[in-house]
Structures are given as C-alpha cells and as structure tokens.
A and B are shown apart, each in its own frame.
Chain A
Amino acid sequence: MKKKLTTIPFKGTQAQEAQLDELIAKNKDIPGALMPVLQGAQEIYGYLPQEIIRHIALGMDKSVSEVYGVASFYSQFTLTPKGEFAVSICLGTACYVKGSGKLMEEFEKELGIKAGETTADGKFSLTDTRCIGACGLAPVLTVNSDVYGRLTPAEVKGIVDKYR
C-alpha cells in the first residue's frame, strides 16, 4: 500500500520527546527492537512524523532509510495524523460479502473524503481495515474504540452525526 506523507506541521511536546527517549534507551540493545519502538512512538504521537523517524534513526543508530523502510512497509504505521474520530471499516471477506463496500461508499459521500484521508477540520479520518475478527457481526466498523456491527448504509449518517 502506498503511504501518504503529511503536509501538516509537526507539533511535539518536550514530555513526548522524553517519553520517546526513554523508550529508545530501553530497547536500543535488544535485537529486533525497531518494531516495538516504532509501535511505542506511534502510541505517543498518534502517528509517525518524519521528524520522529529521523529521531528514532539517530537514537537506535540506524539509517533514516532503514527506519522509514520499516515504517512504510507495515499498514499499522501511519505517516499522517489520524482524525479525532478514526473510522475504520472492515473490508475482510465476510464483511465484504455482506456489503461493507457500500458502507465505505456511504462514508466517503457523508464525510466528503476518500479512504485513507482525514477531513480538513481534523475531525474524521476514514480507513479500510482487514478483518478485525468480529465476522459474526458483519458488516462491522469501528469509530475509535466503539464497534458498530450488522450495519446498513442507511445507518451511516446517524453514526457520523453522533460524533459531529
């Protein structure tokens, strides 16, 4: 999957940086620790800004290209900030057969963005996700940690309105 780089300027706090440095120091000498560090950094900042990728490369004594290579390889890592409410729609097979593609279309219409984008006000982001393993509830989607199952496209507007 091609990753989009963000144009939104990076705003990090000192406290976040201290947290990140602690994480790096703890993992630096463990073999194969780059992934856990990236996962931790994404938890701290919500995404992986270029500045942070550079910071991690320096701290872990790796090249920026290697760190960026790993960050861009895995779909869990995001290089753009997510919206305040992150909508992810399951496009796994069971959900797809039950019409989750239509849910995606409806959300794109309702929010005016495409999958992988964030609304201009930073409120909503829309992504597709692989099977979340709740196939009994298909079609299913999540908004942050709220789960919605057995949905029809007609219910989409109501869900968006709840968070607006």
Chain B
Amino acid sequence: MVRSHVLICGGTGCTSSNSTAIMEKMKAELEAVGLQDEVSVVLTGCFGLCALGPIMVVYPEGTFYSRVSVDDVTEIVNEHLVKGRPVKRLVYDETLSGDEILSLNETGFYKKQHRVALRNCGVINPEVIDEYIGADGYQALAKVVTEMTPEEVIKCILDSGLRGRGGAGFPTGRKWEFASKVQSDKKYVCCNADEGDPGAFMDRSILEGDPHAVLEAMAIAGYAIGSDEGYIYVRAEYPIAIKRLQIAIDQAHEYGLLGKNIFGTDFSFDIQLRFGAGAFVCGEETALMTSIEGKRGEPRPRPPFPAVKGLFGKPTILNNVETYANIAQIINNGPEWFSAMGTETSKGTKVFALGGNITNTGLVEIPMGTTLREVVEEIGGGIPNGKKFKAAQTGGPSGGCIPASLIDTPMDFENLIAIGSMMGSGGLIVMDEDSCMVDIAKFFLAFTVDESCGKCTPCRVGTMRLLEILNKITDGNGEMEDLDRLEELCNYIKSASLCGLGQTAPNPVLSTLRYFRDEYIAHIRDKKCPAGVCKSLLSYTIDAEKCKGCTLCSRVCPAGAISGTVKQPHVIDLTKCVKCGACMEKCKFGAIERK
C-alpha cells in the first residue's frame, strides 16, 4: 500500500534545472531500500514558485523542499522516507517555524492565492487521465452532454461573467452565443496556446500541468456551438506541453471522452494539434487562423468576425488556454460560485507570471481586484538586494508600466486600462531603480518592430519611426520636440493599425511618457540616464582619493583608455573609453564612478 507520495515538479523551469534526473534517482533510491511499493513518485505540473526550483513535496506531511539537487535525493530517502525525519536544511525556510513545519498555504507566497485555473497544477500527474478524473475531471462534460442543452451551457458561461484571459477580455459566453447562432455545416473550436508575450508562462504551465482541463473545456465549447472539431495552436517552443497534450488526447480517445458518440450521445468531438513557429502576431485571432490554414500568419480586417467566418471560412470560436481552464469548474460549481470572486466587471481569478526584480518569481493566481502592492510585497516577497520598487510592467509589449505611486491599484481589466496599461495575458515584470524606463520602452518597441507582420503601414512603418526617435534620445541626440512627436505618432498608430498588435504597440511608450516623463527629459536636456543604463550617456571617472593605483583597471580595459603609474591614482581618457564597465566590475576599492 502507498503510504507516501513524493511530488516532483516537471514544469519547464524545474525540468531545466534537472528535475527529471531527480525523479529517476528518487525511484532508484526507493528501490534500493525496498520502498518502491510504499512510496509513489509523481512528476507533476508547475507549483508556481519557480524561484525555488527544483521543487519536491512529500505527502502526507506536505513537506516542501526547495532547490533540491540530485545529490540530496539519497538523504531525503534515508532520513525522511525511511526514518520519518524531514531534511530541514532543504525545507523552504518560510515553512519552518522553530521545530514545526508549516503548511504551504501559510506562506506569504501561497496565502493570498486562490487557485482555480491552476488547481491541478502541481497536484496531479498530468500524464495519467485517471488522476484528472479522480479530481472531478470530465464530470462537467458528462453533465453538459447528458443533462444540458447548448443554450443552457452558453447561459451558464454568460452568467458567470467569465471574460477572455488572453488579452482583450471579451466576454466568453457572448463569443459562444454568436457562433452558436450562425447556421453552418461545419464549425470549429480553437484554442490559442501561442503564448507569445515575453515573460508570461501561465498557459504553458496549465498545458503541462493539467492538459485534460483544456480538452474537456474545448469539447464543452464544441457542444455549445455545434462543432465537432477543434484545433489547439501551441508554440513549438513548448516541447513538454506538446508531449503532454498529445498523451492527453490519446488517453481521452481511449476512454471515449473524445471521438465519436461521447458518453453514448450523438455528440462527437475531436481535437488536433498545430504548432506555431514563432510569430507573436499569431496570438491575434485572425492571424492565428490564417496560420493554421498553412499561410503567413497575417491578420485580416474584421468584420466578418471569426464567429461568422473564421478558420477555413467557417464559423469559429477561439479562446485562450487559461479561459478554457475555468470552464469545467464553472459548469460543476455553478456560475454564481464563479461570479462571487473578483470585482464588479471582472469576475473570477487571474494568473500572473511574476518575474524580473522580485524575490519570488513564479506563477500566482489571485482574485481579480487584488492590489499590485499585495502581489509585489506579500506574494512576491518584495524586491531583492535592498532596492526600491520603481515600476511594474503588465500586458507585455501591448501593456504599460505602472509607477510606484499607483501600487495600490486593484488589478482588473478596467482599472489597468484606465492607468494606461492592460491585463494582457498576465505577464507582470517588476523593475527596481536600476531599470531605465526609456530603455524599457525601447526594448518593447524593438520587439514589436521585429514582430510586426508588415501587412499594414501604420504598424510596419510607424513602430520603426518610434524606435528611431527613442534611439535618438538614448544616444543623447534627443530634442524636447521629440516628446510631442512620439505622442502624436503613438496616437496615429493606435487609431489606424489593422490588428491588436499595432493598436497596442505604442502603449509602452505612452505609459512611460505619462509616468516617467522626467526621465525622458533627463536624457534629452541633461544628457544623463538617471538609472545608469543608456551607454552613450554614461561617463566613467576614477575618484583619485579612493584609487590605490593597483593597475587592475588599466589591465582589464579593452580600449587602453586607462593610464597611470603603480601606486598613483589612475585616469580614464573619456575619448577612448567604450563604456563597457569592465574597470568598475574589477575595482576592489569602489574608486570608479559611473554618472
């Protein structure tokens, strides 16, 4: 009989730091002590706390081990699993209170979280359908096809107030309603798993940790709109997600949960995988469908909307992975359960990918309306290295930067748009005082210039011109009039671009201009980068008082710009200096200053 479960995180973050080898070693060690039948080892999806990976949790105690290495496995087996003594040096320190080991739910990172879309991630083995079924999986699909009419399903989703988690926040039920009313011999259900926002990885974690939740929801959507075929468009860069999706589809077929006559009814539904090939614009719905059709992933004008004319010219609905991950639970628990969470206009929870200069990087799921301060300070554990919070960027290349003065903003769809950012897919990058906001705007613009598909002029040419003006400013050649030019051009691009990519591309520039205008002015008027990032505006000098004349700096300088004799203060020739900062890194006396 199994008396203990060892859960090892098999998400991409932990797999990258060797969790598969840890699992193999664990199995071998258990066999060596003859415990293979008493302790079950499970490779799960992402736990969310990626900063501490690789992660291992031992149940029934719920001991949370962090940063485990292959060399630690023997000790965990011998001490914990054989003798029942947890290996304290590996236990996540926030769960340690004196001699007691606390539950994970009492730690700062997990306390305020409410897991709906991520409920099975880090709990079940995603490669075994029975574990999903054991967690009430496919109950919603059974209820839908045997007890409910398509109209009732749509009404349930409408009443829940669920809005699309992929970016724009369009009510999911409305989308389904449109498609259900169109008469057609063929309709499609698509899943957008082309998570392109750099810094967001919640969709990947759901696909890796709970793939059946997406399959079940797509089948429910198929029943609601009258479709028998679905496509999942998933990034080729997510090999683990692809593998587990394929396993899930095969197992669902085997169990008769996909395919012909599901649950003995007339309803049939099948799902195919298609792989994206690295084009950010394919996150846009019409571009994604064009890509599934095997063409260049360029968007097309709407109307006609996909609900009328979508994939292969047929009525199609497209929802994002996280949206689908909520569906089965809304059916099971009722729309009131879902709409009780969140704010007036934004119901339910949202998963954010917390990254950048923050202690607890990882995935967090919180009720809509949680403030940014709670996320950064309590769940995120604050900014490391004693630095100050400067801004948070949400919504990726389509979003904006939220300054410290707005840290108490409750985060929902409307509030984020009101302060010039947007929810987007839920990337949340925290920046400390060492980040230059002009440089960040430039970073996102370089991204959109690269990813603009080139179909419409405002986006193709406009974003390039924006980037050029930003480069001019960070090179120290900016003029005050450039700020007006930036704003004017941003507004043109926003109003004239064909698709969401272009319409939101200026947001990083507009929001930094709005909240960090003084930084732009410092670059233009004083020719200084206050954060010390923009190279052309930096100058390195040696403080003669502190310099001991050790000659280390002059030896590492790649440009031969530093001169001086031994034990005498050295000098940097600014005309030769290439501003690489090598001298500053090497100096043991802190004598080199960057201004």
A interface residues, Cβ below 8 angstroms from B = 1, 31-36, 38-39, 66, 69-70, 73-77, 91-94, 96-98, 129-138, 140, 147, 149
User: Per-residue CB proximity of B176-202 to A under 8 Å, as 1/0?
Assistant: 000000000000000000011111110
Give the 8 A-B CB pairs with smallest separation, nearest first: A136-B50, A94-B355, A92-B198, A74-B277, A133-B201, A34-B294, A75-B278, A93-B199
A134 contacts across to B, CB distance below 8 A: 12-13, 16, 50, 201
The smallest C-beta distance from A159 to any residue of chain B, in angstroms, reads: 15
Q: Evaluate contact between B278 and A74: CB separation under 8 angstroms.
A: yes
Cα–Cα, bound, A130→B199 (Å): 9
Cα–Cα, bound, A84→B443 (Å): 30
The smallest C-beta distance from B190 to any residue of chain A, in angstroms, reads: 12
Stretch of B103-111, B255-263, B356-364, B372-380 contacting A (4+ beta carbons < 8 Å): B356-364
Cα–Cα, bound, A31→B290 (Å): 12
Q: Evaluate contact between A132 and B312: CB separation under 8 angstroms.
A: no
B24 interface residue (CB < 8 Å to A): no
User: Per-residue CB proximity of B426-459 to A under 8 Å, as 1/0?
Assistant: 0101010001000000011000001001000000
Q: Evaluate contact between B435 and A97: CB separation under 8 angstroms.
A: yes
How many contacts between A and B, using CB within 8 angstroms?
A: 128
Cα–Cα, bound, A1→B278 (Å): 11
Instruction: From B53, B280, B296, B312, give the contact of A136 (CB < 8 A).
Output: B53
Q: Which residue of B is nearest A150, CB measured? A: B17
**Known pairs A32-B293, A38-B277, A135-B199 / 20 extra A-B pairs, C-beta < 8 Å:** A35-B277, A36-B275, A39-B236, A66-B295, A70-B295, A74-B277, A74-B278, A75-B278, A75-B279, A94-B356, A97-B355, A97-B357, A98-B357, A129-B237, A130-B237, A133-B238, A134-B16, A137-B13, A138-B356, A149-B16
Number of residues on chain B facing chain A (CB within 8 A) = 50
B51 interface residue (CB < 8 Å to A): yes
The smallest C-beta distance from B510 to any residue of chain A, in angstroms, reads: 18
Cα–Cα, bound, A70→B277 (Å): 10
Cα–Cα, bound, A149→B51 (Å): 11
The smallest C-beta distance from A19 to any residue of chain B, in angstroms, reads: 19
Q: Which residue of B is nearest A133, CB measured? A: B201
B50 contacts across to A, CB distance below 8 A: 134-137
Cα–Cα, bound, A96→B278 (Å): 19
B204 interface residue (CB < 8 Å to A): yes
Task: Say whether, besides A93-B396, A97-B356, A133 and B12 are in contact (CB < 8 Å).
Answer: yes
B292 interface residue (CB < 8 Å to A): yes
B16 contacts across to A, CB distance below 8 A: 134, 137, 140, 147, 149
B497 interface residue (CB < 8 Å to A): no
The smallest C-beta distance from A146 to any residue of chain B, in angstroms, reads: 9
Q: Evaluate contact between B291 and A35: CB separation under 8 angstroms.
A: yes
The smallest C-beta distance from B64 to any residue of chain A, in angstroms, reads: 15
A39 contacts across to B, CB distance below 8 A: 236, 275, 277
Q: Evaluate contact between B17 and A149: CB separation under 8 angstroms.
A: yes
With most chain B CB atoms within 10 A of its CB, the pick from A92, A136, A140 is A136
A33 contacts across to B, CB distance below 8 A: 294
A98 contacts across to B, CB distance below 8 A: 356-357
The smallest C-beta distance from B128 to any residue of chain A, in angstroms, reads: 23
User: Per-residue CB proximity of B275-312 to A under 8 Å, as 1/0?
Assistant: 11111100000000001111111000000000000001
